[in-house]
Structure 1
């Protein structure tokens, strides 16, 4: 299970539907990877909802410190959720294509930046 202890309370069958920018969640999740404990609360400030991420991190010396991150969200009403559908799940793929690590590609892309605005990565079954 992703969570070991959680509580969700709402007037809508204990479901809270949120809209947020994925890039903001990605930033916070990178910090959260190093956390030993994470508490997420839905809060309001000046009428605007946000998720408050309170994380316990350990530094190199083993000392604990707290980090607080805020993720701005919009609440999605149950009436609007009716029009949002879950994506169709795909079957198990026959092939996995692994691309190089982004940190390996970045220096190459930086050198090629003078040639074009776009970099195309392609892969096939022939290697």
Structure 2
């Protein structure tokens, strides 16, 4: 298996730091899936932290990108890696890097090697090399890291801006550990925390309802059902982990809700998308 990528754009390095930093907020260890067309950061821990699926187009991050997978029939590479260690390696060249090269190497153990060239005051090029340890996953485990199937949700709504959501969630965290997140087909979304002393609810109005065509024959709700809220209870810490990522100005955040069964958030940006399936609290 071989993997090599190169960029000479500082903006690409900065965006890689933001993406890996966002994933690092949600997990200390994930799987990097490398294919010819895409790169993915994947977390499959639905019980504790939830499932994370981050998809990137390498053409938006690297001018050169080459890979050879396990075989012609299975032309992919799956690496278990720490996103925070990738961030630390990349930060060497955040502001002045001339070139970033990334490649899969095998030294005493498999590594992702980050080679960063920086100009010095004397005009010479300084090269910094960081080896990030990885665990190469065997093919028998690949099926655990396929894209999650999206079920038929009761409602899908475009959420308010990321900063507003994060601010509200941080304040609600001080009141309790769990939150009911719900929405209706009138474009209302509600974030509610209940304690023995009080119930606090924050409401957003006039949000866009997203109609997902997944082949279902389910009809649109009748007028008398438009005001019904569909929701589920989640751990506030899990929602805050998702909202605390470093992606700048996502174009949309879609929240898909299945009544008392699932909360599926979809953060969309021009060159990357992140799906997060939050564990639901049933009581």
Pairwise TM-score range, normalised by the shorter structure: 0.5 to 0.7
- What is residue 67 of structure 1 aligned with on the other side? 128
Cα deviation code 1:16-57 (max 9, x no counterpart): 1111112211111212423221111211123x1011111111
Aligned equivalents of 2:106 and 2:157: distance in 1? 40
Q: TM-score, normalised by structure 2?
A: 0.32
Report what 1:10 is aligned to. Answer: 69
CA contact (8 A) 2:90 2:114 kept: no
Name structure 1 gaps, 5 residues minimum: 101-119
1:29-48 equivalent positions in 2, closer than 5 A: 29-34=90-95, 35-46=97-108, 48=109
Moved more, 59-68 or 84-93: 84-93
C-alpha separation in 2, matches of 1:70 and 1:19: 14
Bigger share in strand: 2
Residues 1:80 and 2:141 aligned together: yes
TM-score (structure 1 length as normaliser): 0.64
RMSD: 3.2
Partner of 2:159: 93
Q: How many residues align?
A: 106
User: What SS does structure 2 have at the residue aligned with 1:70?
Assistant: strand
